[in-house]
């Protein structure tokens, strides 16, 4: 890490989705407990804010995309025991991860992207389209508290899940494309996912960051809940990883760095994400990430007990039904880096109980091509000993950001989106859905009156 970053953060203090990666949920209990209360207070500009205030957030101008080859149609298989996407899908309160595309809106003010004395750049057609969309979105923002289904034209389905689906929609207010997540209230209540669903909406409404999905607004009718989010057209990191088989150090480091900054921001607000995996990371039109699917996220100052998440990404303390905190996200972060570099997760088994046993009792088998620095970082993240796990120690995120594997990455430039992404998605236009799977459409109309509407259980929608 550059010395300037070290100086800036020198004073930093410590302080599950089974679609056959499948989850289970338990009762929540709360308790204050030593090491689980640790978090990291990194400088606010590394979170994508100025002065730590949401109102001061400024979306950086987009980096001009370069010409790329059309996305491949062949999906090369990976070494066993790599799970397929279907095996990794989850029946949860959240619709499947490819569903929640977004790009945070522009906010009046300056930009933290422009470098001093940097020569003016010619605005490309793609950049102008993106900026125009941001400007149009401000029109929607003024009315987002009064959004209703008739404000949008539903184009097609871009994702499905246990409780509903996500549609590409076009606003009749500003003609911009968005993603509309639709959840069936009766199913949510039946499967006792009311708390998770309300948590998802509340958390998304409270966060805004360059690398996190943005919620524009929500509403409900008798049968469904609706969440309007920006449409992120680049598809899932999962899909790109499967086509690539595995990533080089440089590519994995770029995505890991952006994910780390998003986690740092969430943890600074005492939010545990709890469902980190490539399916829940989207790529925007310029190749930067957007963390999505907050169905399991929860505001937890100290510890929680719920068994939830994706099996091969579960931290040992979650499996053991111990109280756990932010450290569980660091374990999952290690699994993500391993999967990007190896092409498969460190632990996998068709039998869920055998999988858990492997996580609790064995060490990962590192592929021969993985370099020493990556292995060293992963050994400090994928450790069952919480007193040794990076991110959970006295120096918090500094132990990760200053590790030698991250040394080539400039986190200052990364948060400002000054580093060119390793992959620019092939996108024909703002409403292009080519990077998402095709789903059969349902023709049941929304907005039909219901005898039981459950409105009292979702008061904030």
DSSP 33-60: -GGGG------GGGGT-STT-GGG--PP
- How far apart CA 144 and CA 227 sit, in angstroms, is 11
Contact indicator for 341, 333 with CB cutoff of 8 Å: no
Cα→Cα distances 12→43, 302, 400, 419, Å: 8, 19, 13, 24
Does 277 appear as a known binding residue?
A: no
* Percentage of the residues of the chain whose pLDDT score is greater than 70: 69
85 — phi, psi (to 5°)? -65, -40
pLDDT band at residue 190 using 50, 70 and 90 as cut-offs: very high
Residue range 138-165: mean pLDDT, rounded: 80
pLDDT at 104 over 60: no
Which one has a higher pLDDT value, 458 or 397?
Answer: 458
pTM of the model: 0.75
| Separation of CA 194 from chain center | 21
Strands (E), 33-188: 152-160, 164-171, 177-184
Lowest mean pLDDT among 14-18, 134-138, 264-268, 335-339: 14-18
Nearest in space to 152 (alpha carbons), one of 228, 230, 214: 228
Tally DSSP H helices, then E strands, for the chain.
13, 9
Contact indicator for 17, 83 with CB cutoff of 8 Å: no
pLDDT of residue 444: 81
Question: 217-256 in b/e burial notation, b at 16+ Cβ within 10 A?
Answer: bbbbbbbbbbbbbbbbbbbbbbbbbbebebbebebbbbbb
Tokens representing residue 92 in the block: 């949860």
pLDDT of residue 88: 60
pLDDT at 339 over 80: yes
pLDDT of residue 257: 99
- How far apart CA 33 and CA 36 sit, in angstroms, is 6
pLDDT of residue 240: 98
pLDDT of residue 171: 97
pLDDT of residue 438: 93
Domains defined for the chain, CATH in brackets: 3-115+123-448 (1.10.510.10)
pLDDT in tens, 277-321: 999 999 999 999 999 999 999 999 889 999 999 999 999 999 998
3-state secondary structure 373-407: HHHHHHHHHCCCCCCCCCCCCCCCCHHHHCCHHHC
Neighbours of 90 (CB within 10 A): 30
pLDDT of residue 146: 81
Residue range 426-453: mean pLDDT, rounded: 91
- Which helix (H) or strand (E) segment holds residue 30: the answer is none
- How far apart CA 393 and CA 382 sit, in angstroms, is 14
- How far apart CA 60 and CA 258 sit, in angstroms, is 15
- How far apart CA 38 and CA 395 sit, in angstroms, is 10
Concatenate the DSSP letters of all residues of 443-458 into one string.
Answer: -PPS----S---GGG-
pLDDT of residue 443: 79
Which positions are annotated as active-site residues? 275
- How far apart CA 302 and CA 159 sit, in angstroms, is 34
Lowest mean pLDDT among 112-126, 218-232, 242-256, 402-416: 112-126
Contact indicator for 176, 170 with CB cutoff of 8 Å: yes
Looking at every residue in the chain, the average pLDDT score rounds to: 77
pLDDT of residue 345: 98
Residue range 422-450: mean pLDDT, rounded: 92
388 — phi, psi (to 5°)? -120, -10
pLDDT band at residue 140 using 50, 70 and 90 as cut-offs: low
Question: 4-33 in b/e burial notation, b at 16+ Cβ within 10 A?
Answer: ebeebbeebebebbbbbbbbebeeeeeeee
Lowest mean pLDDT among 16-20, 128-132, 253-257, 397-401: 16-20
**Residue that the structure tokens 């929540």 belong to:** 28
Neighbours of 317 (CB within 10 A): 20
339 — phi, psi (to 5°)? -65, -35
Query: In 3-state terms, what secondary structure has residue 158?
Result: strand
Residue range 170-187: mean pLDDT, rounded: 96
pLDDT in tens, 44-93: 444 444 333 333 333 333 322 222 223 232 233 334 445 565 556 543 33
Residue range 386-409: mean pLDDT, rounded: 96
pLDDT of residue 349: 96
Cα→Cα distances 281→3, 96, 208, 232, Å: 29, 12, 16, 10
pLDDT of residue 441: 92
151: CB partners within 8 A, 6+ apart: 143, 171, 172, 173
pLDDT band at residue 174 using 50, 70 and 90 as cut-offs: very high
pLDDT of residue 82: 54
Contact indicator for 25, 312 with CB cutoff of 8 Å: no
pLDDT band at residue 124 using 50, 70 and 90 as cut-offs: very low
pLDDT at 31 over 60: no
Nearest in space to 340 (alpha carbons), one of 410, 234, 237: 237
- How far apart CA 436 and CA 342 sit, in angstroms, is 24
Which one has a higher pLDDT value, 140 or 31?
Answer: 140
């Amino acid at each position: 890490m550059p010395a300037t970053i070290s100086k800036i953060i020198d004073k930093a203090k410590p302080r599950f989705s089974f679609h056959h990666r499948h989850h289970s949920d338990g009762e929540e209990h709360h308790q204050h407990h030593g090491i689980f209360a640790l978090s990291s207070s990194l400088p606010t500009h590394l979170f994508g804010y100025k002065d730590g205030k949401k109102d001061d957030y400024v979306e950086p101008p987009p980096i001009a995309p370069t010409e790329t080859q059309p996305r491949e149609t062949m999906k090369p298989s990976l070494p066993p025991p790599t799970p397929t996407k279907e095996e990794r899908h989850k029946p949860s309160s959240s619709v499947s991860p490819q569903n929640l595309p977004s790009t945070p809106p522009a906010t009046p003010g300056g930009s933290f992207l422009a470098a001093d004395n940097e020569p003016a750049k010619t605005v490309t057609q793609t950049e102008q389209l993106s900026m125009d969309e941001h400007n149009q979105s401000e029109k929607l923002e003024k009315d987002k508290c009064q959004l209703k289904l008739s404000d949008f034209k539903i184009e097609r389905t871009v994702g499905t899940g246990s409780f509903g689906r996500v549609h590409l929609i076009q606003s009749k207010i500003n003609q911009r494309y968005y993603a509309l997540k639709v959840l069936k209230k009766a199913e949510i209540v039946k499967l006792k996912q009311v708390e998770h669903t309300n948590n998802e909406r509340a958390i998304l409404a409270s966060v805004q960051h360059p690398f996190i999905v943005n919620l524009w607004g929500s509403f409900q009718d008798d049968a469904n809940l609706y969440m309007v989010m920006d449409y992120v057209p680049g598809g899932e990191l999962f899909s790109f990883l499967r086509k690539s088989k595995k990533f080089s150090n440089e590519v994995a480091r770029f995505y890991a760095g952006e994910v780390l900054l998003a986690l740092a921001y969430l943890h600074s607000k005492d939010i545990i994400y709890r469902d980190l995996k490539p399916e829940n990371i989207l790529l925007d039109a310029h190749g930067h990430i957007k963390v999505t699917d907050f169905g399991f996220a929860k505001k937890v100052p100290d510890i929680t007990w719920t068994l939830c998440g994706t099996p091969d990404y579960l931290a040992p303390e979650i499996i053991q039904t111990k109280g756990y905190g932010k450290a569980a996200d660091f374990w999952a972060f290690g699994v993500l880096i391993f999967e990007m570099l190896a092409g498969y997760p460190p632990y996998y088994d068709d039998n869920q109980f055998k999988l858990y046993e492997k996580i609790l009792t064995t060490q990962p088998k590192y592929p021969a091509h993985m370099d020493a620095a990556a292995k060293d970082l992963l050994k400090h993240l994928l450790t069952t000993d919480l007193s040794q796990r990076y991110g959970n120690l006295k120096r918090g995120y500094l132990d990760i950001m200053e590790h030698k594997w991250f040394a080539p990455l400039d986190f200052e430039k990364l948060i400002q989106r000054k580093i060119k992404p390793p992959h620019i998605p092939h996108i024909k236009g703002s409403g292009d859905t080519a990077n998402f799977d095709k789903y059969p459409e349902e023709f049941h109309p929304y907005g039909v009156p219901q005898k039981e509407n459950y409105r009292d259980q979702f008061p904030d929608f």
